[in-house]
Chains A and B, each alone.
Chain A
């Protein structure tokens, strides 16, 4: 609608949040999920629920373990890789497009 009312102003590439995800298609993105999980992978597809198909995924799970004797918190990370992954949207906390350097 904005284009019609103000035709002189150039349309922005990003008009709504999901556009950012759209532009990240076929790029490696970072996804933070509930349960202290993080994903890095190539975005193949997504939908309005932020269900996503990711390729070449690295999953990082952060586990905090409390040592019973010393009561110290030990932070451990578990890494998994997957060739292709379907991510259900209800677990997604944030999606970050790849950082760009230079051009």
Chain B
């Protein structure tokens, strides 16, 4: 702020053009400043002005430049004269003047340039002429050696018509420089308070960020001058200059910014209130710093305390040897070691199996056969090589402990010599028992399991009216579960035991399970058949898929035969047939669902691989042993019929060839046809009864599937009968489908099409 802005122009020419263009300066403005530079450079007289100015500035009493040295890095008084080209320039002043002449001549030869210059120069020459006249009061601005003080006296200039204006415009820098010091004096007079601003406690000055530095001399004092200039400029240049003037102010701002000083404009409007705001901000900052300090001390205190404690405890260091630690570890881990994770930690095992996570060889269930932990351990070792040795060590230790424990079986009792009683040893597997439950019954079950026990013993007691004791059925189911669980366990541990011994155990268990299923009980002794009773309990249904996994083909056949033979006694057939209103209790519907999901799939799979002979036999038995019209009203019954019919059809068409079955013999096909005709004749006129009530929400897809299966095997005549019977239902469904939402309608149509496609028709062909 202490420098005039044209002073800047002359002393720092190279920086200008960039800065100016970077700002919002317009092209003309750019040119203008360039011209200024050029003029400044072109003549040594300009620098002469500088010489005259320098001592002036030194006399100034300036405030706010206390930090100039810091900012600019050197003492202003010792700047040196590297930059001071004027002295040398003065020596070559003649040469420069010649150059000037050359330059002017060149200008003349470039008319376009000249025009531009001509347009602009007069404005400035006038301006500066006026100013210099007014300002010369100061007296200090006189330059005795300056020949350009009076342009007209210059010996070189008169030749050129432009030169007066050049010199005119060239004047300003010097005059400006004269004027500025005066402004600064004014400034200081107007604002004496800034000499030592009371709002600034000295302590706060140091942490001030650069932007908040002590305010320079307020520019307010200078504004009038600028305004004057503006006015004059405007006066002379008219409207075209208004824009330029604004830009000039900006130029100055940019220049000041260049100097590393805060631009005056922001500070311009600052009042004491603003300073107070700053002060408040500083107080805040200070508070924050203090807070941080407090936190730091707190942390430090805690750290020291921790260290003190650690040091306190250090006297116990080394009290336990590694052996002691191992011993403690062994005591802890040995409690968790188990040979049989599936019974001791069943839920974890199942959970991990369900989650499809590889069972980790974790301590709790350190199963011996998994203790090879190979893949897992390897993987883990790969993951963090850093702790590789540590992991290995732990693994080895655990392995050793496990082996130790396995070598000496856990004793649950300890009898000391001479003591009268026994001391029970409690462990995590053998907690102190409050209730002693005899384990006798498991023994008895195992005795039962022996095939030699004779099956007559296990015939469920039949009360006088021939109803099987329900509790015996339940017990059979429990025994089946017991056997199944043992079988599954055996399968899991298959590779751990000798093959023949394992096979022996396995067969024994399968036999036991098979007996408990009560499938082979003679038909007719009790009603319902014990096997059917088992199937009538939901947990009995649930166990079937697990049972059938261990059954051989013969057992399968026997089982399905027994099921088919007593089909109508099944709860899912017997009770699941809706009355005229089709209301079936939800609990029964759940049972049907369960039966369809558990019992049917393995049987379906079996039938899907059966030869025609067996299918034929099963269907015959089905028809003979059951009231087929009745059975066909149940969902499960229809599912079975569909199963047989579609399998037979596949076999008839040679589908069994793919499964390695021989093509059905002619006789078998004949037999099948007979059976089919029997079925058809029985069901004739009753087909519609298979449907659930029309308006009910039950999905009747299974009925359409059955009808489709019937239709495929039917003769032309039979097909005709079939269509006649169910025509009504087909039409109703199609009509209904046209009135309900798209997705449901599509489903309905698809269902109908199941049947219609079997006849070579399609629902879209129907005319409603």
On A, residues with C-beta under 8 Å from B are 1-4, 7, 10-11, 13-16, 18-19, 22-27, 48-49, 90, 100, 103
For residue B447, CB closer than 8 A to chain A, the reply is yes
Contact B457 A49 (CB under 8 A): no
Cβ-defined partner of B472 (8 Å) among A7, A13, A48: A13
Taking CB atoms, residues of chain A closer than 8 Å to B536 are 103
Interface hits, B454-491 → A, CB 8 Å:
457-459, 461, 467, 469-472, 474-475, 478, 481
Judging by beta carbons under 8 Å apart, are A3 and B448 in contact?
Answer: yes
Mark out the residues of chain B between 94 and 136 whose CB falls within 8 Å of any chain A CB in the assembled complex.
Answer: none
Given contacts A22-B478, A23-B474, A25-B478, contact A11 B434 (CB under 8 A): no
- Known A-B contacts A1-B440, A15-B441; the reply to A10 vs B478 at CB < 8 A is no
Q: Does B742 contact A (CB under 8 A)?
A: no
Q: Does B720 have its Cβ within 8 Å of any Cβ on chain A?
A: no
- B433, B437, B447, B470: which contacts A100 (Cβ < 8 A)? B470
Residue from A1, A4, A13 in contact with B474 in the complex, judged by beta carbons closer than 8 Å: A13
- Most chain A CB within 10 A, of B472, B528, B536, is at B472
Residue B444 lies at the interface, judged by CB distance under 8 Å to chain A: yes
Interface flags for B519-535 (1: CB within 8 Å of A; 0: not) read 00000000010000100
Q: Which residues of B contact A14 (CB under 8 A)?
A: 471, 475
- Docked-complex contact A23 and B437, CB < 8 angstroms: no
A5 to chain B minimum Cβ distance, whole angstroms, is 12
Contact B437 A48 (CB under 8 A): yes
In the complex the two chains form, is A13's CB within 8 Å of B475's CB?
yes
Can you list 7 pairs linking A and B with CB atoms under 8 Å apart? Answer: A2-B444, A11-B457, A13-B474, A14-B471, A23-B478, A100-B470, A103-B470
Q: Does B22 contact A (CB under 8 A)?
A: no
Q: Which of A3, A15, A22 is within 8 Å of B447, CB to CB?
A: A3
Q: Is the CB of B444 within 8 A of A26?
A: no
- Is A16 within 8 A of B475, CB to CB? no
Whether the Cβ atoms of A19 and B447 lie closer than 8 Å is no
Considering the complex, give the chain B residue whose CB is closest to the CB of A53: B347
Q: Decide if A26 touches B471 in the complex (CB within 8 Å).
A: no
B 138-156 to A, binary, CB cutoff 8 A, 1 in contact else 0: 0000000000000000000
Contact check, B457 vs A26: say whether CB atoms are below 8 A apart: no
For A24, what are the chain B residues with a Cβ–Cβ distance below 8 Å? 474
Are A10 and B441 interface neighbours, CB within 8 A? no
Instruction: Beyond A3-B448, A24-B474, list 17 extra A-B contacts (CB 8 Å).
Output: A1-B440, A2-B444, A3-B444, A3-B447, A3-B457, A10-B457, A13-B471, A13-B472, A14-B471, A16-B441, A23-B474, A23-B475, A26-B542, A48-B433, A48-B435, A49-B435, A103-B528
- Are A25 and B457 CB-contacts (below 8 A) given A13-B472, A16-B441, A103-B467? no
Nearest A residue to B482 via CB reads: A22
Nearest CB of chain A from residue B16's CB, rounded to whole Å: 82
CA distance A100 to B473 in the complex (A): 13
Task: Judge if B555 is at the interface, Cβ distance under 8 Å.
Answer: no
10 pairs of A and B residues whose beta carbons are closest in the complex:
A26-B539, A23-B474, A13-B471, A13-B475, A48-B437, A13-B472, A15-B441, A10-B461, A22-B478, A3-B444
Task: Check B438 for interface membership: any CB of A closer than 8 A.
Answer: yes
Report if A19-B441 is in contact (Cβ < 8 Å); known contacts: A7-B457, A13-B471, A13-B472. yes
CA of A16 to CA of B475, assembled, Å: 13
Which residues of chain B have C-beta atoms less than 8 A from A25's C-beta? 478, 481, 539
> Is the C-beta of B538 less than 8 angstroms from some C-beta in chain A?
yes
Q: Which residue of A lies closest to B431 (CB)?
A: A49
- B478 nearest in chain A by CB position: A22
CA distance A100 to B444 in the complex (A): 27
Whole-angstrom distance between the alpha carbons of A4 and B447 in the complex?
Answer: 9
Task: Please determine whether B444 and A15 come into contact, CB atoms closer than 8 angstroms.
Answer: yes
Q: Smallest CB–CB gap between A19 and chain B, Å?
A: 7
Which residue of chain A has the shortest Cβ distance to B539 in the bound complex? Answer: A26
The 0/1 profile, CB within 8 Å of A marked 1, for residues 424-436 of chain B is 0000000001110
Nearest CB in chain B: distance from A48 CB, A? 4
Given contacts A1-B444, A11-B444, contact A49 B471 (CB under 8 A): no
What residue of chain A has the Cβ atom nearest to residue B445's Cβ? A11
Q: Tell me, rounded to whole Å, the shortest Cβ–Cβ distance linking B496 to chain A.
A: 26
Chain A residues near B467 (CB-CB < 8 A): 103
- Contact mask B699-713 → A, CB, 8 Å, 1/0? 000000000000000
**How far is the CB of A17 from the nearest CB of chain B, in Å?**
9
Asked whether B469 lies within 8 Å of A13 as measured between CB atoms, the reply is yes
Tell me the complex Cα distance, A33–B440, Å: 28
Q: Closest CB-CB distance, A95 to chain B, in whole Å?
A: 14
State A14–B469 Cα separation when bound (angstroms): 11
CB distance from B618 to the nearest CB of A (A): 26
Point out the residues of chain B lying under 8 angstroms from A19, CB to CB. Answer: 441, 475
B754 vs chain A, min Cβ distance (A): 36
Interchain nearest-CB distance for A7 vs B (Å): 7
Q: Among B437, B448, B481, point to the contact of A11 (Cβ < 8 A).
A: B448
With the chains together, A27 CA to B469 CA distance in Å? 17
How far is it, in angstroms, between the C-alpha of A3 and the C-alpha of B458 when the chains are bound?
Answer: 11
Instruction: Give Cα A6 to B109, complex, Å.
Output: 143
C-alpha spacing A14/B470, complex, angstroms? 11
Task: For A3, list chain B residues within 8 Å (CB).
Answer: 444, 447-448, 457
Q: In the complex, how many angstroms separate the beta carbon of A71 from the nearest chain B beta carbon? A: 40
Indicate with 1 or 0, residue by residue over B532-553, a CB within 8 angstroms of chain A CB atoms: 0100101100100000000000
A20 to B443, CA, bound (A): 17
A18 near B437 (CB under 8 angstroms)? yes
Cβ contacts under 8 Å, A90 to chain B:
434
CA separation between A100 and B467, bound complex, in Å? 13
With A and B bound together, what is the CA distance between A7 and B538 in angstroms? 31
Contacting residues, chain A, for B478 (C-beta < 8 A): 22-23, 25
CB neighbours of A23 from chain B (8 A): 471, 474-475, 478
**Which of A18, A90, A103: most chain B Cβ within 10 A?**
A103
Chain A residue numbers with a CB within 8 Å of B469 are 13
Q: A49 — which chain B residues lie within 8 A by C-beta? A: 434-435
- Tell me which residues across on chain B come within 8 A of A48, comparing CB atoms: 433, 435, 437
Specify which of B438, B457, B471 is in contact with A16 (CB 8 Å cutoff). B438
User: Chain B nearest CB: distance from A34 CB in Å?
Assistant: 15
Distance of A24 Cα from B473 Cα, bound (Å): 11
